[in-house]
A and B are shown apart, each in its own frame.
Chain A
Amino acid sequence: MGTFLTIIIAVPIIRYGIYALVKSIKQEIKGGCSGCTGCGVKD
């Protein structure tokens, strides 16, 4: 049960972490801040 729960929780967390990292880097390389919404830089 513990191992099953570990997988159920860990997989989406790690997947989201990788997604967030790749998305942020991609956006920053284009000169867009991963958080900022106010300066009009397009994605």
Chain B
Amino acid sequence: MSKSITIALAGNPNSGKTTLFNAFTGARHSVGNWAGVTVERKEGKIEHNNEQINIVDLPGTYSLSPYSLEEVVARNYIVDESPDVVLNIVDASNIERNLYLSTQLIELGKPVVIALNMMDVAEKKGHKIDCKKLSELLGVPVVPVIAAQKKGIQELLNTILEVAKGKISCTPSDVDYGKEIEVKIKETIEVLKDNIHAHKFNLRWLALKVLEEDEVILKTIKVDLSKLQLQEQIAVTSEIALKDDLGSMIVSRKYTHIAKIISKAIKKPKVAGLSTSDKVDKILINRWLGLPIFAALMYMVFGFTFNIGNIFLDLIDGSFAALGEMVGASLEAAGTAEWLNSLIVDGIISGIGGVLTFVPNIAFLFIALGILEDSGYMARVAFIMDRAMRRVGLSGKAFIPMLMGFGCSVPAVMGTRTLEEESDRLTTILVTPFMSCGARLPIYILFAGVFFPGKEGVVVYSLYMLGILVAVLAALTFKKTLFKGEEVPFIMELPPYRMPTIRGTGLHVWEKVKGYILKAGTVIFAASLIIWFLLGFNLSGVSEMPQSIGASIGKVFAPIFTPLGFGNWQATLALITGLLAKEAVVSSMAVIYGLGETVGSAAVDGDVVGFISTLKTSGFTQLSAYAFMVFTLLYTPCIAVVAVIKRETNSWRWAGFSMVYQFVVAWVVALLVYQVGGLLGF
């Protein structure tokens, strides 16, 4: 086998890069019918025709201009790492916009292969694409594929190998920028020729970037623009310079070039009237109907999560109860120590069982959210929310990472890389953890089930909506104080409505459920063990629970929560373990309320989540239970989120600040709920 070949996957957001990456590698990375699913490059290895191929999936970008972090990441990778082939994934059904990036990639001077994806969608729209002609006009190979159906993958890989080995040579056609700009390009190339920092760049591309005043490039090659006086000279000579700056003129000429190519290689039917997608959008993203429809859909999501999920709850609960009884009886018969029996039955099985009982609810929540996402609706929510977000100084684009926060706050914080303005990015990073992640759901199901029977769906819905409201209000506060910045115009591509597939949605759900089960087997296992130990012992050895280490820790911090209605050590201890993972709040409660006064004497016989009956009599009222849920909704999601905030902001100060202010916000809102609720007689 010869030296391995590296290919970089580049393309517009939502062009199917990750789907193609999965088709190549057999991986199951998350794909979504919205922009910004890939914010960090992913790598995979495959073997084709006895050749080792390394595949790097870059974040989706509309251009190679440094407007946002992921565009810089993609560009730097292609320039600095110099992959053997740049595989440009182009959405065949939306070719004009996609070719803008293609022209930039071609100009970079690297070997480019174009994968014309979603050919089926283009054909359905009646687009007839002459791939051979397109290839001739662009000067690079063009291969039609349908990544979702794995069609054309082998042909594509064959072409990539041939280009990498030089068997097919790329003869890219230069964009004609017009006489005045072409003269400037030549002059700039002459100036840059001797620049020692310019050697790794294609000089024509570099000259264009200098003319566009690309700040990152100017810094890299250490060129003082004022010495070149390019703008002034072009302004004198250009007939259209009075209206447009040089950057706009370059963009305009690129689109003229693309339009010429399209007119020669593609035939499109004349569109008469609105498409079905447009007609649906007239209702779903209507100025007045959009928000109420979103609120109604979310209400249906939680109704579905509870009504269907709860059918399975008793079954799983019963299974864990039977398992606990069986293991307990076997250990007793084998004569093992009483503390070990308690550790396994009251600690591990209770803790893990307490969390796994809610797997069906988690699965049904993500089935519902997955269908909304895959259909293309979730991307439209950002558009719907744009008006509200603009009032707080952000754009609807910031709502996309916030929506991702419904799944997990970690990728949601990373998703803020798509935001151009640093102040918008920091604001969104700080408010995204208020969006209720999936890990908090078991807490709501437990407390809503115990204290609000028959109204669980409404209670959980109110918490999700409260999370959005607090996030928006916090964003408003930040934008008026810490992060005053200019408004960035929001231009968003609405993906086409697609029928969700069982495979696609199933994959989403499986990822989440697998993650949840994995957590139960690792961090929840460990948390249950620790809680069991902390509750069974003190510095003198085995102790009664109220005198245990766990109770002592809880009692130190419990007074903080007294004004919120849950100032008991049990709730406090559960909240502390929740910093490890939010599900640990439930597993800790299962152990705390499932244990008797001392290790080995279970408080409740029967079902594993029998701790529920103890929880009912633990001093929580409906109001304090709701305040507890509000607090868990708003305080720091977990250590991983703090760490990812540190990584994304490159500052421990912001990470620490996020922890402290989230705690303060959680405390204040829970206090308001409890005290005002009390005054209103709840």
Contacts and interface: CB of A to CB of B under 8 A. Distances in A.
Contact of B336 (A2, A16, A30, A42): A2
Interface string B519-533: 111110111011000
B94 interface: no
B606 interface: no
A23 B518 CA distance: 13
Contacts of B529: 13-14, 17, 21
Interface string A30-42: 1111111111111
A41 B334 contact: no
B643 interface: yes
Contact of A34 (B39, B343, B514, B523): B523
B522 A35 contact: yes
Residue of B508, B638, B639 most packed against chain A (CB within 10 A): B639
B406 interface: no
B259 to A, nearest CB: 36
Interface string B315-347: 000000000000000010011110010011000
Given A5-B336, A9-B336, A32-B640, A39 B525 contact: no
A41 B335 contact: no
A3 to B, nearest CB: 7
Given A2-B334, A38-B30, A38-B512, A24 B522 contact: yes
A1 to B, nearest CB: 6
B664 to A, nearest CB: 22
Contact of A24 (B407, B512, B526, B641): B526
Nearest to A23: B522
B593 to A, nearest CB: 21
A40 B344 contact: no
B643 A40 contact: no
Residue of A20, A21, A24, A36 most packed against chain B (CB within 10 A): A36
Contacts of B520: 35
Given A2-B336, A5-B336, A13-B348, A35 B40 contact: no
B576 to A, nearest CB: 14
Contacts of B38: 40
A41 B647 CA distance: 11
Interface residues of A, number: 33
B411 interface: yes
B334 A28 contact: no
Contacts of B42: 40
Contacts of A9: 331, 336, 340, 344
A39 B646 CA distance: 17
Contacts of B581: 24, 33-35
B410 A35 contact: no
Contacts of B512: 38
Contacts of A25: 580, 639
B378 to A, nearest CB: 15
B530 A31 contact: no
Given A5-B336, A38-B30, A38-B511, A28 B639 contact: yes
Given A37-B511, A39-B408, A20 B523 contact: yes
A28 B638 contact: yes
A6 B523 contact: no
A34 B640 CA distance: 9
A40 B512 CA distance: 13
A4 B125 CA distance: 73
B515 interface: yes
B526 A39 contact: no
B516 interface: yes
Contacts of A40: 29-30, 38-40, 42, 411
Contacts of B640: 27-28, 31-34
B261 interface: no
Nearest to A29: B643
Nearest to B515: A35
A10 B337 CA distance: 10
B293 interface: no
A2 B638 CA distance: 40
B234 interface: no
A34 B30 contact: no
Given A31-B643, A31-B644, A34-B519, A17 B526 contact: yes
A30 to B, nearest CB: 6
Given A25-B639, A41-B40, A5 B414 contact: no
A38 B179 CA distance: 50
Contact of A6 (B340, B410, B515, B643): B340
B644 A17 contact: no
A34 B520 CA distance: 10
Interface string B639-676: 11101101100000000000000000000000000000
21 contacts: A2-B335, A5-B334, A10-B340, A13-B344, A13-B348, A21-B527, A24-B522, A24-B523, A24-B580, A27-B640, A28-B640, A32-B640, A33-B581, A34-B581, A35-B518, A35-B519, A35-B522, A38-B408, A38-B508, A39-B410, A41-B411
Given A13-B529, A14-B529, A37-B515, 20 more contacts: A2-B335, A9-B331, A9-B344, A17-B526, A20-B522, A21-B529, A24-B581, A28-B580, A29-B643, A32-B410, A33-B408, A33-B519, A34-B519, A35-B522, A36-B511, A37-B511, A38-B30, A41-B411, A41-B644, A42-B40
Interface of B: 29-30, 38-40, 42, 331, 334-337, 340, 343-344, 348, 407-408, 410-411, 414, 508, 511-512, 514-523, 525-527, 529-530, 580-581, 638-641, 643-644, 646-647
